[in-house]
Amino acid sequence: MSAPVAIVAAMHEELSALLAQMPDEQRVRAAGRDFWVGHLHGQPVVAVLSRIGKVAAAVTATVLLERFGVRAIVFTGVAGGLAPGVNVGDVVVATQLLQHDLDASPIFPKYEVPLMGLSRFAADTAIGDALAAVAEETLRDPVALLGQEAVDEFGLRSPKVHRGLLVSGDRFVSTAAESDALRRNLPDALAVEMEGAAVAQVCHDYGVPFAAMRTISDRADDAAHGDFARFVAEVASRYSLALASAWLATLPSSSGETPAAT
């Protein structure tokens, strides 16, 4: 039997739709978290709510690797758009991840993880390519996925898929001044969230493939708080389910093959 794939989200609303589709999930309690072990589209899966923030996400990733022996971790959920053209309803599939609030200078360069010589952690190329492909296909018809009402309410007429740098920090970026500063300091950053780079670092240490796909819920500016909870429940959770399911359906269901690490 092949090792499971982990599907991780930071908030309950981001994971609830996926859990509802797991026919045989069993709860395993560890490190104060509920890990749901079961199958989805013929694949062994462990789904878990990491909680919000880098430390919580790193703890979750470590338990997934040490206790459940997962062969890959995919993080899903929402992020704030930073780069021009990265709009609400779009999906960002990370190629690299960085902690935007890490600064041990002047001992180490800004953003560099001390003693590692790295500031950017690469996401797994094979998984990222597959996620981007299923996202492109899924987002061609947002009405079929979300319904006309949600598409109209959130203006999701032509959602796009972006590949590039995702930045993480222990702060909900919610002012124009903060997002402008991030764009100045990290001009290639596509979006900002609060967990991904920490999980990427843990997976790097263990040599296990990691990927992140994030639905853009806002533009990380002064309007970032508006209708956030409703967007997560009505849009992001459905995106997470559709994209994770479509990706899992592309994997061999009975062999022991694992997603390719890069």
In a domain, 257, yes or no: no
Q: Tens digits of per-residue pLDDT, 3-54?
A: 999 999 877 877 788 888 888 889 999 999 999 999 998 899 999 999 999 9
Q: Tens digits of per-residue pLDDT, 72-123?
A: 999 998 999 999 999 989 999 999 999 999 999 999 999 999 999 999 999 9
In a domain, 261, yes or no: no
CATH number at residue 77: 3.40.50.1580
> Cβ of 113: how many Cβ atoms within 10 Å?
18
- What is the spatial distance between Cα 114 and Cα 150, in angstroms, rounded to a whole number? 44
Active site residues: 14, 218
In a domain, 105, yes or no: yes
Under a CB-based contact definition with an 8 Å cutoff, are residues 215 and 239 in contact?
Answer: yes
Long-range CB pairs of 178-184, under 8 A, 24+ apart, other chains included = 178/220, 179/80, 179/82, 179/219, 179/220, 179/221, 182/82, 182/100, 182/220, 183/82, 183/83
Q: Which residue has the higher pLDDT, 247 or 17?
A: 247
Number of domains comprising the chain: 1
In a domain, 259, yes or no: no
Domain range spanning residue 137? 5-249
Tokens of 195: 């967990």
* DSSP category for residue 156: -
